[in-house]
Structure 1
Amino acid sequence: MEIKNPLEVIIIGGSYAGLSAAMTLGRAMRKVLVIDSGKPCNAQTPHSHNFITHDGETPAEITGKAKAEVLKYPTVEFLNDRVISAQKSGLCFELKTESGKKLSAKKLVFATGLKDRMPEIAGFAACWGISVIHCPYCHGYEVRHQKTAILANGNDALHFAQVLSNWTKELVLFTNGLISLDPDQQAQLTKHGISWIETPVSQLIHSDGQIKHLVLSDGQEHAFNVMYARIPFDQHSSLPQELGCTLTEHGFLQVDELQHTSISGIYAAGDNATMLRAVSQAVAAGMRAGAAINYDLIMESW
């Protein structure tokens, strides 16, 4: 594959946000390259929901359709590769890929997502995205009215309990250690019939990612088929930070309403720049980034 430098835009990350940005730019006749390594964070998730016209499809089905549609635009190209370095050079950004390609572009979009840090609980990673889930708007309807575990502590635990009470009244909080909610917060849980267990969770017994039991460190077992969890994450790519992009206090790339980062010429869209981790949100952010880039390129030549 021969790529002519410099490109107008390189999009790093070819999932929902990246492909959405690419379509917007392709329709604006911009010369765009999407680079993706083929390792989406939701690869294990069996179905995607709450994205109108695609409700219930697998993540791979949605991205497959999106890629086919985007590549109908002749100015958009796709490269299966991984960017390993990036630097600013004059008016362009210079990139190197794992396969040895050297590329340059006027604008960069990071649609690289997040990397979840799995807790040291046996079986957790195998269940993540299947029966251990993060978002009731994405998956809550399918597990409505079921006895549900929450793995969280502190303010996150209270927030989860409040929101999830809309989908089920059978909630049990596992704080994985001493509860850190204050007395008022604990009273709120008690008022709504939500009990909590402080004994750490040591294992999830499951079948192909479907939880059967939670096993505690003291050997007790609790039967659950679904659990919500709030776990820490890292930026999937360190390149934005290496280029000087600012992170928010919560660890997301700081962007404005048009997806500009703190560094001129660099944009970010998708999970790496928002706590709203949903396909529809990523698609919308990608479209905003594409439109902003096109406008910025217009104004630079006006």
Structure 2
Amino acid sequence: MILQNMANQQEFDVIIIGGSYAGLSAALALGRALRKVLVIDAGNPCNKQTPHSHNFLTQDGKTPKEISEIAKSQVANYNTISFVNDIAIKGEKNVSGFEITTAEGAIFKGRKLIFGTGVKDIMPNIEGFAACWGISVIHCPYCHGYEVRNQKTGLFANGDMAYEFGKLLWNWTKELTIYTNGKSTLSVEQTKTLANKNIHIVEKEIVKINHEHGKIQELVFSDYSAQKLDALYAKIPFIQHSDIPQNSGCEITEMGMLKVDMMQKTTIEGVFAAGDSTNMMRSVANAVYGGNMAGAAVSKELIAEEFAKA
């Protein structure tokens, strides 16, 4: 249900911020538990450029949009679930639960909160990088490695990350080059080990990615030389997509993730989180699992609270 008269429908058992895979999975679990749920989402997922999603049983090869549309249509069948196309910008805890304010000025109240807001990747200042992100500049071999197996592949990373990730990628291709985008910080021993596996290291600064509709053709370096390439894995920094959890006191791990327990509960009572904002394993399957667990855990808490008062 899309909210039309928001003034009459402001109080919910659960408010879910973020309506992608984790958020919709949580909503499904809660809808089936007869809970009044609001999903706030602006329809801007981080994988919107990705042509196909993989490694998710029954949905392998479908576009992220297809999976989301199927999910939302199924969740919408539960009449206790409502959707708002908006962005949550502020969250406050009160006596009865939480109050969420959106960019459109709406205020919603919920007894529990679930964040499925994901992360925002910080693109390097390299022309063409953002246009290729999710298409031929990729983050995960389990999501994309099969499609670029045995092809001329690069890794945009340095130091220990480059070494460990390079070892992993060697499974999918033996035509692998590590691009450190400046002086290599790999140790002498790491460099020697990689060289013995025919994994090359290029320390030139990358200034541009020539591509066609997001498909890499070549890397261009600061010395005007270029190198042909089919795919480039990249480990780039990110930030939490929403600052509400951290501003509300939710603890952040050393890796920049929202800290949650096995039931997807954050360090703030009544607040749960799932999906990419909580786990380095950024996949649709993982987000769906986390969302389902969060929805079930929230449902259990609500039932326990009501049972104790009855």
Q: What TM-score comes out, normalization by structure 2 length?
A: 0.96
Q: Tell me whether 1:157 sits opposite 2:162 in the alignment.
A: yes
Match in the other structure for 1:205: 210
Match in the other structure for 1:33: 38
Which of 220, 224, 231 matches 1:226? 231
Match in the other structure for 2:76: 71
Sequence identity, in percent? 53
Q: Tell me whether 1:120 sits opposite 2:125 in the alignment.
A: yes
**How far off its partner does 1:116 sit?**
0.3
Deviations 1:99-157 (A, max 9, x none): 12111000000100010000011100000000000000001100000010110001110
Residue type of the partner of 2:274? A
Residue type of the partner of 1:83? A
**How far off its partner does 1:159 sit?**
1.5
**Structure 1: segments with no counterpart, 5+ residues:** none
**How far off its partner does 1:182 sit?**
1.3
Residue type of the partner of 1:288? M
5 Å-filtered alignment, 1:99-248, equals 99-248=104-253
Paired with 2:70 and 2:164, the residues of 1 have a C-alpha distance of 35
Between the two proteins, the alignment pairs up a number of residues equal to 302
**Structure 2: segments with no counterpart, 5+ residues:** none
Runs of 4+ in 1 over 4 A off after TM superposition: none
**How far off its partner does 1:91 sit?**
2.6
For the aligned residues, what is the CA RMSD?
A: 0.8
**How far off its partner does 1:226 sit?**
0.7
**How far off its partner does 1:209 sit?**
0.5
Paired with 1:188 and 1:72, the residues of 2 have a C-alpha distance of 55
Match in the other structure for 2:262: 257
Match in the other structure for 2:24: 19
Paired with 2:113 and 2:229, the residues of 1 have a C-alpha distance of 44
Q: Tell me whether 1:301 sits opposite 2:306 in the alignment.
A: yes
Paired with 1:170 and 1:216, the residues of 2 have a C-alpha distance of 19
Match in the other structure for 1:48: 53
Match in the other structure for 2:273: 268
Deviations 1:162-183 (A, max 9, x none): 1111110110010011111112
Match in the other structure for 1:279: 284
Paired with 1:185 and 1:58, the residues of 2 have a C-alpha distance of 38
**How far off its partner does 1:301 sit?**
2.0
Which of 99, 104, 115 matches 1:94? 99
Deviations 1:10-69 (A, max 9, x none): 000000000000000000001101010111111111110000111111110000000000
Paired with 1:136 and 1:87, the residues of 2 have a C-alpha distance of 39
